[in-house]
Amino acid sequence: MTLSGKYALVTGSSRGIGRGIALKLAEKGVKVAINYRLNEAAAQETLDKVRERGSDGFIIRADVSRPEDNARLFEQVKSEFGRLDIFVANALGDLFAVLAPPTELKIEQWDKAQASQGRAFLEGVQAAVRLMPDGGRIVAITYTPGGGTGSWQAYAAQGPAKAALESLVRYFAVALAKRGITVNSVSPGLTEDSIINALPPAAQEMIRDWCASGWTPMGRMGTTEDIGNAVAMLCLPEASWVTGQAIAADGGASLMNSDFPLAIQLG
């Protein structure tokens, strides 16, 4: 199944999950706008890999948490592509700048997290649909556990920001349904070559062991290609009846129950 002739913007696509999404779309014939915030060399490397897969695109620097950058981003998409068929909101923002437990969280950190997630998505979708024909595709990359639990205390700003993002997905899905534009979110599980790579090596090894032990039923961490596959699936014409949904691409991790020991759950 191909998406040949389509045009996409993937925010935060210079590395990690965003790159995996951009490359999977390129494999299906999509031309991709590669957005980055700081690392131009990584963005260029992603574009080179897009071209290796027989597609093309361009790179653009923009911090989606800044309204003026967001506006410029979509103006360049309009100038380069003329239209936009797929918008993937993936940019994470400066996560480590907003990590703090709720008792210590500063208002500036709260605002920064919201700006890079819910507000950026609101501005992005409003701009995207002005360039998007009927039948377009919008996908937000979120993290459902972060908005539904309180266990990772340092995620007290980013978790609610992701929850706001997921809520907006549902509102936009209803608003754009009559145009045949679908709006969904994909929630990755623990994924190789992602923000996990910024953790100390010992922490990364603990996470891999956790997944292998069975808390991820498929016994491994995800890959950026796994997440790219999930996003590409939602962009296919055959997915036109799926909208307003939060898809967990996590190898079954969200199916496990923390109330019971793993040995009981796996029998």
CA–CA distance, 260 with 46 (Å, rounded to integer): 42
Cα dist. 119→12, 181, 209, 234 in Å? 15, 20, 36, 23
Assign 248 to helix, strand or coil.
strand
User: Amino acid identity of 125?
Assistant: V
- CB contact at 8 A, 187 and 143: yes
Assign 240 to helix, strand or coil.
coil
The pLDDT score that the predictor gives to residue 258 is 87
Can you tell me which residue has the tokens 């480590």?
96
**All structural domains of the chain with their residue ranges:** 7-194+224-253
Closest to 131 in 3D by CA, of 57, 177, 63, 77? 77
**pLDDT string in tens for the chain (267-residue length):** 689 999 999 999 999 999 999 999 999 999 999 999 999 999 999 999 999 999 999 999 999 999 999 999 999 999 999 999 999 999 998 888 999 999 999 999 999 999 999 999 999 999 999 999 999 999 999 998 888 888 889 999 999 999 999 999 999 999 999 999 999 999 999 999 998 888 889 999 999 999 999 999 999 999 999 999 999 999 999 999 999 999 999 999 999 998 888 989 887
Closest to 143 in 3D by CA, of 113, 171, 104, 173? 113
The one catalytic residue in 6, 106, 162, 178 is 162
Can you tell me which residue has the tokens 């897969």?
53
The pLDDT score that the predictor gives to residue 263 is 87
Active-site residue flag, 36: no
Assign domain 7-194+224-253 to its CATH superfamily. NAD(P)-binding Rossmann-like Domain (3.40.50.720)
CA–CA distance, 267 with 262 (Å, rounded to integer): 8
Closest to 232 in 3D by CA, of 45, 16, 8, 54? 8
The pLDDT score that the predictor gives to residue 195 is 86
Q: Name the DSSP class of 132.
A: P
Active-site residue flag, 162: yes
The one catalytic residue in 28, 155, 171, 178 is 155
Q: Where are the beta strands (DSSP E) in 11-163?
A: 31-36, 57-61, 86-89, 137-141
The pLDDT score that the predictor gives to residue 267 is 78
The pLDDT score that the predictor gives to residue 151 is 85
User: Amino acid identity of 41?
Assistant: A
CB atoms within 10 A of CB 198: 11
